[in-house]
Amino acid sequence: NFMLTQPHSVSESPGKTVTISCTGSSGSIASNYVQWYQQRPGSAPTTVIYEDNQRPSGVPDRFSGSIDSSSNSASLTISGLKTEDEADYYCQSYDSSNAVFGGGTQLTVL
């Protein structure tokens, strides 16, 4: 089964830039769109990136997404980190028309 692998946790200081990776286990991650969701404790996930690199309205341009076919991975980059960015982040894509979520990355801003 297709899997998306994320680092369990990352940490960075306010004002810095952090990148979270999401690696596909097989096939080409570029074959289907990748989305990124932010989840704060006790809340439902919200979208920060959809269709690989698109930001929903209201999401600051500090959030960006990209695809690297050579490493079969997607990345979420958050620049100018703020304490409010501290949350869990999940990547999501599809495999044979089935949705797949990554295992999530806990971002600590300290």
Partner 1 sequence: QITLKESGPTLVKPTQTLTLTCTFSGFSLSTSGVGVGWIRQPPGKALEWLALIYWDDDKRYSPSLKSRLTITKDTSKNQVVLTMTNMDPVDTATYYCALTPTIFNWFDPWGQGTLVTVSS
Does 35 contact partner 1 by CB under 8 A? yes
**Closest separation between CB of residue 94 and partner 1, Å?**
5
Residue 97 CA: distances (Å) to CA of 40, 94, 107: 28, 6, 29
CA atoms of 76 and 42, how far apart (whole Å): 22
Question: Which CB, 57 or 83, lies closer to partner 1?
Answer: 57
- Please state the separation of Cα 70 from the chain's center in Å: 18
The residue among 5 and 17 lying less far from partner 1, judged by its C-beta, is 5
DSSP letter at 80 equals S
Based on the shown chain and the rule CB under 8 A, indicate whether residue 46 belongs to the binding site for partner 1: yes
CA distances from 31 to 46, 63, 81 (A): 23, 22, 30
Tell me how many residues contact partner 1 (CB under 8 A). Answer: 24
Tell me whether residue 15 or residue 56 sits nearer to partner 1 (CB atom).
Answer: 56
State how far the Cα of 12 lies from the Cα of 52, in Å rounded to an integer: 23
28 binds partner 1 (CB under 8 A): no
Tell me how far, at minimum, the Cβ of 84 lies from partner 1, in Å: 19
DSSP conformational letter for 95: E
Interface contacts to partner 1, rule CB under 8 A: 1, 32-33, 35, 37, 39, 44-47, 50-51, 56, 90, 92, 94, 97-104
